[in-house]
Amino acid sequence: MFPILKKRRLNDTMTLMEVEAPFIAKKAKAGQFIILRVNEFGERIPLTIADYDREAGTITIIFQKVGKTTLLLDQLEEGEKILDFIGPLGTASHLEGYKKAAVIGGGAGCAIAYPQAKALHEMGAHVDMIAGFRSQDIIILEEEMRAASDNLFLMTDDGSNGNKGFVTDALKAQIDAGADYDLVVAIGPLPMMRAVSNLTKPYGIKTIISMNPIMIDGTGMCGGCRVTVGGETKFACVDGPDFDGHLVDFDEAILRTRTYREDEARATREYNCHLMEGAKNG
């Protein structure tokens, strides 16, 4: 059992938790993830390690409430425990040796892009961080991202923060202005990572993306998370989750993430109904 030491709601849909997991905290590196199971009826879901504290023995996770399991997880309070918490899984990001990088986060992906920016920045690279959100009121980690980068470009789809546009608009503007990046890191929804990869390809800028396929064990024993990279089948849980964005078959990956869409929608609906009933009866 893994105690939740700290819980903070970042906005209406996103929550940060610091979980006591000393063995994992000792080994975790940027780009790796954990798998957790909330209770004995629960499914196993992967979440990226957003931060770690080796001395305190904690792992920070940031998750968006998108379905039953993340809603259940969000119900847990400080002092309560997560049943299973497994990691660190996946291959750590290779960020050494780059001079000038653009790190791009889309929505909840900022929680994963932020530690990458921080790692690059600490290694001495010049880091431009581009963070995209639907609107101003769901912006997260602004101060942290600002501290981890040389420039922070905050974009909103609806322009509610005065900076309207997608992350690709900001990236294109920087490239056209002669930013001369030797690395782009993009983390967020698959269509966003596809758009960034398509943008950088003609410029020949190395582009690392972080895949987020369906996973079960996360240790390479089932292949549920397989993605096609450069025509080869890779298991994201062991070979990734980081891959070369110019080689990933995004269209296939997008279709595969929809495998259980109906089951997921039903589970979420039933869970919400159950909560409503509880509220009425209680």
Partner 1 sequence: MANMNPKKTPMPEQDPLVRNHNFEEVTLGYTDEMAMEEAQRCLQCKHKPCVSGCPVNIRIPEFIRCITEGDLEKAYQIITSTSSLPAVCGRVCPQETQCEAKCVRGIKHEPVGIGRLERYVADWYMNHRERTPVKTERNGHRVAIVGAGPAGLTCAGDLNAMGYSVTVFEALHTAGGVLMYGIPQFRLPKEIVQKEIDLLKSNGVTIETNMVIGKVLSVDELFEMGFEAVFIGSGAGLPSFMNIPGESLVGVYSANEFLTRINLMKAYKEGYDTPIIQPKNVAVCGGGNVAMDAARSAKRLGAENVYIVYRRAEEQMPARREEIHHAKEEEIDFRLLTNPVAIHGDENGRVTEIECIRMELGEPDASGRRKPVEVEGSNFRLPVDCVVMAIGNSPNPLLRKTTEGLEANRHGCLVVNEETLQTTREGVFAGGDAVTGAATVILAMGEGKRAANSIDEYIKSKK
Known binding-site residues equal: 62-64, 222, 225, 237
Give exposure, 27-49, as e/b (b: 16+ Cβ within 10 Å). Answer: ebebbbbbbbbbeeebbebbbbb
Q: Which of 153, 145, 155, 212 is nearest to 179 (CA)?
A: 153
Contact region for partner 1 (CB under 8 A) — 95-103, 138-146, 147-155, 250-258? 250-258
Among 6, 9, 23, 273, binds partner 1 (CB under 8 A): 23
Nearer residue to partner 1 within complex by CB, 44 or 246: 44
Residue 142 binds partner 1, judged by CB under 8 A: no
What is the CB-side half-sphere exposure of residue 59 using CA atoms within 13 A?
28
For the CB of residue 35, give the shortest distance to partner 1 in the complex, in Å: 9
Could you list the residues known to form a binding site for FAD, using ranges. 62-64
- Which among 7-15, 50-58, 169-177, 218-226 is the span making contact with partner 1, rule CB under 8 A? 218-226
147 binds partner 1 (CB under 8 A): no
Distance CA 251, CA 233 (A): 14
Give just the sign of the alpha carbon dihedral 51, 91, 225, 23.
Answer: negative
Q: Does the footprint of partner 1 cover residue 164 (CB under 8 A)? A: no
Please give the structure tokens belonging to residue 123. Answer: 């290694």
User: Which residue's CB is nearer to partner 1, number 47 or number 103?
Assistant: 47
Q: Is residue 44 a contact point for partner 1 (CB under 8 A)?
A: yes
How far apart (Å, rounded) are the C-alpha atoms in residues 74 and 197? 33
| Interaction between residue 86 and partner 1 (CB under 8 A) | yes
* Residue whose C-alpha is closest to residue 187's, from 145, 226, 222, 232: 145
From residue 282, alpha-carbon distances to 73, 76, 274 in Å are 21, 19, 12
Among 160, 161, 228, 246, binds partner 1 (CB under 8 A): 228
For tokens 């940031």, the residue is 62
Stretch near partner 1 under the rule CB under 8 A, chosen from 56-64, 148-156, 166-174, 213-221: 213-221
What is the nearest approach in angstroms of partner 1 to the Cβ of residue 182?
A: 29
**Among residues 159, 191, 220, 230, the one that binds partner 1 under rule CB under 8 A:** 220
Q: Which is nearer to partner 1, 189 or 224 (CB)?
A: 224
Q: How far is CA 197 from CA 123, 167, 202, 211, 273, in A?
A: 24, 12, 9, 13, 40
**Beta strand 183-187 with 58-64: parallel, antiparallel or unpaired?**
unpaired
Of 102-110, 136-144, 171-179, 211-219, the window that binds partner 1 (rule: CB under 8 A) is: 211-219
> Between 5 and 238, whose beta carbon lies closer to partner 1?
238
* Helix count and strand count (H, E) for the chain: 9, 16
Chain residues in the site for partner 1 (CB under 8 A): 23-24, 27, 37, 41-44, 68-69, 83-89, 216-217, 219-224, 226, 228, 233, 238, 249, 252, 255-256, 258-260, 263-264, 267
